Amino acid sequence: MSNNLPAFRFFADSRSPQLGRDYDAEIHRYRAAYIEPAGYGLTVDAFPGADVIEVIDDPEPQQGGPGRQEPIIIKRLRVPADTVAFDFTIRRSNGGFDRNVIKKIDRLEGVINEAQPDPPWSLSVTVPMQGTYHCTIRLRNRSGNGPTGQASLILRDHLVVGLGESFASGEGNPDKSGQVDQLGAARCEAASLRITVHGLDKAGVSMRRSAAWLEPEAHRSLRSGQARGAKAAQDLSNGRVITFLSFATSSAQIERGLFDSQHPKWQATGQIEEARKAVGNAPIDAVLLSIGGNDVGFSGGLQELAADFQGGGLDKMVRDTRRRIQALVPRFDALALRLQSLVNPRRVYITEYPTGMFDKKDLLGGPLGRRADGCEIFDSGAYMKVSSVDAAMIFELAHELNDQLRRAADQYGWTYLEGIVEGFAGHGYCTDEDERFWVRAVESCKKQGDYMGTMHPNERGHEIYQDVIASALRQQFTGGSIERSGSLEPMLHMMT
């Protein structure tokens, strides 16, 4: 048996919010204990491994128990034979925390499970503040000595705030999917564009189990790309944790959503003011922003899209959408001022929108896929049928919207996050299930009891958002360069 200490892990515990623990859906706000924690968790996992020394194939059944049982596997810990305890010391460099814990080993041989509760090879502590922490482990033998090992980490907590509409909130992706009953399933399968548009989604579909959301009224989920990206950007082994606060609300617009309340019954203010009140004087390291789509009737704009097709055809929809895209300019001016004056984040990231809603794979290998005809509710006969020509125009308008977002980012010193258009290419609404990055109407109905999730990114789609967002946050928090054009300060002086 080697006298060297086996490799061990010393890491910070994740600060990603947990459903039912960190947000109070009854009063619609994050719990103070999450926003301002009394301490941070650090964990040491020094499981040394174990070797199988005996397998009892058919142990005798206990009286009154089942006749045949699973084999009992006897293992031996891979530690020196004279080891009697794991000796842990964790201390903070500049003081404020210093703890020594000795955890005795009852036996070196037996039924050993790495995940057993409170094992001798693992220790979790709560430390009071950020800083540099050092961990020393000794495999203590009978004489009080034994092999030792050391590890360090720099505990840093970054505050990231999520704002925006349904693409930011995670619409279509509840934290826990609901389950329709037999009658509800039949109703979902009969979904048509007319049902979706005319609001029978709000009449409710009979459910065996309702969907669970972080904030049910906002259709806000921890499965959104923003939440997933913030979580993935943590580096727990090096002590980097992220406190993530999302205020995104489905159907939000710049004015009715970010500035002012969408739902006065439960939202007292708009998202920006809500964020300011929640964080107090804490500096915000990054704001993740997805906005603009609803302002132009585009982001998940199922109702607007159908109404435009029916009311005036494609030409009218194109004219109206382009007019709305141009109208974003003064709204972004006001948004830049609001963000600076109310929350003053160190960095603002604005995500582009996926453009190929009706894309299929380009058979010639093109990077942005090819436009295709609609399907399901977008192939509803006389009411609405999306052709490949319509799909191409929607694709073009989405790019024009993204161009406007990019210009705003350049003007105000925000960071425009790209890679989403390319990531979604070829994975449109009408592709096969294992290739599709969008939630279909029937899926939305069955998962959440309404059609509101229709035409929103599904889990695969939010993985694209996750990767793009996490990459940007990692670069920021490790000091890497992120392309950022323009400067906010000169623009603010010109506007005031």
What is the chain's pLDDT, residue by residue, as a tens digit (496 residues)?
Answer: 455 677 899 999 999 999 999 999 999 999 999 999 999 999 999 999 999 988 888 666 665 556 667 888 999 999 999 999 999 999 999 999 999 999 999 999 988 888 888 999 999 999 999 999 999 999 999 999 999 999 999 999 999 999 999 999 999 999 999 999 998 888 888 877 666 666 544 546 889 999 999 999 999 999 999 999 999 999 999 999 999 999 999 999 999 999 999 999 999 999 999 999 999 999 999 999 999 999 998 744 445 555 555 555 677 778 889 999 999 999 999 999 999 988 889 999 999 999 988 988 776 666 566 778 888 878 876 556 778 888 888 899 999 999 999 999 999 999 999 999 999 999 999 999 999 999 998 999 999 999 899 999 999 999 999 999 999 999 999 975 444 333 333 333 333 3
Tokens 């105000």, located at residue: 412
Amino acid in position 243:
T
DSSP letter (8 states) at residue 13: P
Q: Tell which residue, 436, 33, 422, has the closest CA to residue 243.
A: 33
Q: What is this structure's pTM?
A: 0.90
Q: Tell which residue, 16, 12, 258, has the closest CA to residue 133.
A: 12
- What 3-state DSSP class applies to 208? strand
Q: What is the CATH architecture assignment of 9-48+80-146?
A: Sandwich (2.60)
- Homologous superfamily of 158-495 in CATH? SGNH hydrolase (3.40.50.1110)
Amino acid in position 124:
S
Phi/psi at 50 (nearest 5 deg)?
-150, 145
Q: Where are the alpha helices (DSSP H) in 190-280?
A: 193-197, 225-232, 271-279
Domain residue ranges in the chain = 9-48+80-146, 158-495
Angle at 265 between CA 260 and CA 270, to 5 degrees: 20
Q: 25 with 216: CB under 8 angstroms?
A: yes
How does DSSP assign 271-284, residue by residue?
HHHHHHHHHTTPPP
Q: 167 with 353: CB under 8 angstroms?
A: yes
